[in-house]
Structure 1
């Protein structure tokens, strides 16, 4: 999630085949699924290497390529004081419209701040963390819920105004064709219990 908010034009994942026995214990299918997800769903480029030597060679080659690309090129840098996590992507989009022939960059310090776990969270970040405290809600499911209910207040108001079965409200709204994003009726009811019920059922959350 942080990568998608970094504003980076091209993101490369470097995956090294290290300690394959431990990977096998974890589950090779799960690792392959994660790598496929990175490429297909996130749209990132994934480079896989067999060992640390290949990883170093790849990083050296990429460093040389980047140096040749930008060594004698004028760079347009957004000042650190103008970079804020909650407005950065919108600002980059606006700059691209105003200056379509330029690519705007940030300093490494700003880039680190944009992707830091310890930086102040946005409302959506906080809401996602709140949702994921409920058993069964993954990052993907939380993101799908937030697409329909962008803030905690909106979620509560939707529950209040719902004239149908409140326990199925979220499952009816989050019918993603992607299984890992789909919110089923049981989880939908659990969310209702957390956010709206006067009394929690034992063991339901």
Structure 2
């Protein structure tokens, strides 16, 4: 296959510690009593998206072969992801919640197509906004040799960024049968992990798209050992394509349209300028500072504002305001991209 697979399948990812500005901007949440599924009171079922088929003539192949391997599985329509796991109470009430695992499955030809038409970035964006910690990106071998002759570099770059930058678990399989084996093994691992574990569910009336990720972060700071889930209904409502996105979400999607601006650079930019207005105001401030300086002072360090903080830019030229963001070397946004972003946001002539 085209890229190295992740070395771990179940280990959760750790979040970076929030900085002072993130803490200051975190909304306050009132205490609440979670819905609790006591250990041993529920059963776990693998949910396969209805669109996951082998062919139009054999639509239930995956489901049938998962069941043959002893997996409690069913098909439903999923708003995001191709596979997830649901815990359902055994008391006959049909209460259920989504566990902390989601799989996005891509056949190699579909992966190539999604990279070319932009679905690749949008799908990852939506997956990261589920609030699920264990995100799996499963790539299934299909006509890979032919596809790699023309698209090897693009595919390797996409898979590497998915694993290293997005921190998804990357798994590559050799066939649909190999995929089914992997999902069966993952299902058994999830059963084992939850054999003696109680589940804590956020009441549906407390879940709002605009602050859901902040709520999850807040709950994690209260108890790092406790994972808070959502009901299946809440999961579906949260992740509909027409769901409510925050300004920062919209800003991220806008920036993804700028050629050369990687997700790592977008994250660095959003840390300082989380909304279109904050970036626009930052450029206005830079222009003002630039116009106020005498010619002999050009090139000296001047203040730059963003997200309520003051940092320093190494140039007084407004279009170069962003060029040092993102770290060192290739991680930096750089002068060319900084100029492009400036031209776009200040409504100047911009060549794509």
Q: Considering the TM-score relative to the shorter chain, is it more than 0.5? A: yes
Distance 1:169 1:23 in 2: 40
Distance 1:133 1:29 in 2: 20
Structure 2 counterparts to residues 51-62 of structure 1, below 5 A: 51-62=175-186
> Compared with structure 1, are the counterparts of its residues 112 and 182 closer, same or farther at alpha carbon in structure 2 (3 Å cutoff)?
farther
Q: 1:52 Cα deviation (Å)?
A: 0.6
1:155-201 deviations in whole A, cap 9, x for unaligned?
122122212211211224x253363x53232332222223225xx33
> Compared with structure 1, are the counterparts of its residues 94 and 166 closer, same or farther at alpha carbon in structure 2 (3 Å cutoff)?
closer
> Compared with structure 1, are the counterparts of its residues 33 and 152 closer, same or farther at alpha carbon in structure 2 (3 Å cutoff)?
closer
TM-score (norm 2): 0.50
Distance 1:189 1:182 in 2: 13
Task: Pick which of 111-120 and 50-59 moved more.
Answer: 111-120
Residue of structure 2 equivalent to 1:184: 334
The total of aligned residue pairs comes to: 200
> Compared with structure 1, are the counterparts of its residues 47 and 178 closer, same or farther at alpha carbon in structure 2 (3 Å cutoff)?
farther
SS at match of 2:129: coil
1:58-88 deviations in whole A, cap 9, x for unaligned?
1122223323433564321112222223322
SS at match of 2:322: helix
Gaps of 5+ in 2: 1-124, 290-315
Distance 1:95 1:147 in 2: 22
Residue of structure 2 equivalent to 1:89: 213
Distance 1:45 1:58 in 2: 13
Distance 2:233 2:174 in 1: 32
Q: Which has the larger radius of gyration?
A: 2
Structure 2 counterparts to residues 133-144 of structure 1, below 5 A: 133-134=257-258, 136-144=260-268
Residue of structure 2 equivalent to 1:204: 351
Q: 1:150 Cα deviation (Å)?
A: 1.5
Gaps of 5+ in 1: none
TM-score (norm 1): 0.79
Question: Greater strand percent: which structure?
Answer: 2
SS at match of 1:187: helix
1:10-54 deviations in whole A, cap 9, x for unaligned?
222212111214431442233233323322223322221111101
Structure 2 counterparts to residues 1-205 of structure 1, below 5 A: 1-70=125-194, 73-134=197-258, 136-162=260-286, 163=289, 164-172=316-324, 174-177=325-328, 179=330, 182-196=332-346, 200-201=348-349, 204-205=351-352
> Compared with structure 1, are the counterparts of its residues 11 and 130 closer, same or farther at alpha carbon in structure 2 (3 Å cutoff)?
closer
> Compared with structure 1, are the counterparts of its residues 88 and 46 closer, same or farther at alpha carbon in structure 2 (3 Å cutoff)?
same
In 1, are the aligned partners of 2:131 and 2:213 still within 8 Å (CA)?
Answer: yes
Distance 2:321 2:133 in 1: 37
